[in-house]
Amino acid sequence: MKFGTKVIHAGIRPDPATGAIMTPIFQTSTYVQNAPGDHKGYEYARTQNPTRSALEENLAALENGKEAICFSSGLAAMDAILKMYKPGDEILSTNDLYGGSYRLITKVFENFGLKGRFIDMSSPEDLIEQISSSTKLLWIETPTNPMLSIVDIKRVVELAHAKGIKVCVDNTFASPYLQQPLNLGADMVLHSATKFINGHSDVIHGCVIVNDKEIADQLRFIQNAAGAVPGPMDCFLVLRGIKTLHLRVQRACENAEKIAHFLKSCDAVSKVFWPGFEDHPNHTVARDQMKMFGAMVSFDLKNNSSASANKMLSGTNYFALAESLGGVESLIGHPASMTHASIPKEERLKVGLTDSLIRLSVGIEDVDDLISDLDQALSN
C-alpha cells in the first residue's frame, strides 16, 4: 500500500454496527462486561478506546512501524519515553531543539536524576567522542527546530546501536510523508501530531511509533499508568486530518521552496535556513533521507535587532503571529521569545538562534500572496 492510500485506508474499517465509513467517536469512559473479565476487548477508556485504536493502527502504518502509542500531546509522548529511563542515565540530544523538549529534560527529569546533554549531531563521526558510559538514549530532531539543521539518521543509528544505545527521532518537522526514521534504523519515532499530522490547528496530540514489542509494551504500561491519553474527539480530528496529509505537506513544501528563494534575494535578510539550498550543511543528507525539504523556513534579519524583528512580525497579513506549526494556514514566529524562550540565551546563541531570527511555518495558501505579504512586511 502506497502512502497516499495508507492515509485513507490503513487501520480504517467501516463501523460494523452501522456501516459508517468514518471512524465513530466512542465518547465513553467505560464498557459493560458480561461477567468479570468477559468483555469485548475494552474495559476502561484510559486504557483503550476504539477511536484511539484506529488512529494508532493508522499512524503505525504511516511510519512503517508495528505499533503506535498515542498521548495527549507531543510533550506527553516525550515524557513517557523519558520515564523508561532511570536516575544516572544520560539523554544525549541535539543542541538545537524545541524549547519545550529542552525544558522537560532540564527542568523536570534532571530533578529525578536523569542527565541531559545537548550537542551538535550534524557530523556523526564527532558523536563517538561524546557518548559516555551512562548514555542510554540519543534524542534527535531533524530538521532541527528552529535552525533546520540536518542529522544523518542512518549513520547516527549505526554508531549508537554499536554501543547498545537507543535512538528516538522527533519527526514532527518532517512528518511521515517526508521522512520515515524507522526505515533508517531508529528505535522510536515521536510526533507532536498537533502539527503536520493533524494539520488544522484544532487539536493537541502526540504519538510514538516503534517496531520493538518490548518498547511498545513499556510505553503502553506508562500510557495507562500515568494516564496522559488523548480523548476520542482528539483522535477523531487527527484521523480526519491525516486523510489529506500528503496533499497538504506536498503543497506546503512547494510553497516553502519558493519563499526560501525569495527571502534569499531580500536585502533586509542576512541568512535563510532551509535544507533545500545546495550550500546548506548536510544538504545531501536531507536530499537522501527526505522526500522534499520541508515546509519550515527560518531567516535572520540583516540589522540583527529584536526591534526590527518585532516590527516585521507584527506587519504581516496572511502569516499569523502565533506559536505552533504545520497547519494549513501560514504562521510566523519569534523563537527567542516564543517557542524557545525556556532555553537560556547563551545556549540559543551557540546554535545561531539570535533575537532577530524569525521562523515560518508555510501553509497551503497561494504562494504569490504569501510572498507579497512577506515583501511588504520586510519593506515597511
Q: Which positions are annotated as active-site residues?
A: 46, 98, 170, 195
Contact 326, 175 (CB under 8 A): yes
- The helix-helix angle for 213-226 and 74-82 (nearest 10°) equals 110
What backbone torsions phi and psi does residue 300 show, to the nearest 5 degrees?
-115, 145
User: Is the backbone peptide bond immediately before 36 cis, with ω within 30 degrees of 0?
Assistant: no
The DSSP secondary-structure symbol of 104 reads I
Q: Which helix (H) or strand (E) element contains residue 225? A: helix 213-226
Q: Is 231 exposed, middle or buried (0-12, 13-18, 19+ CB in 10 A)?
A: middle
Contact 243, 7 (CB under 8 A): yes
CA angle, 257 then 65 then 133, to 5°: 90
Alpha-carbon distance 155 to 152, whole Å? 6
Q: Which residues of 136-159 are buried (b: 16+ CB within 10 A; e: fewer)?
A: bbbbbbbbbbbbbbbbbbebbbeb
Which cell numbers in the block locate residue 377?
512586511
Alpha-carbon distance 256 to 67, whole Å? 32
237: number of CA atoms within 13 Å, CB side?
19
What is the C-alpha end-to-end distance of the chain, expressed in Å? 50
Instruction: Classify the phi-psi angles of 43: left when phi > 0, otherwise alpha if psi is within -120 to 50, otherwise beta.
Output: alpha
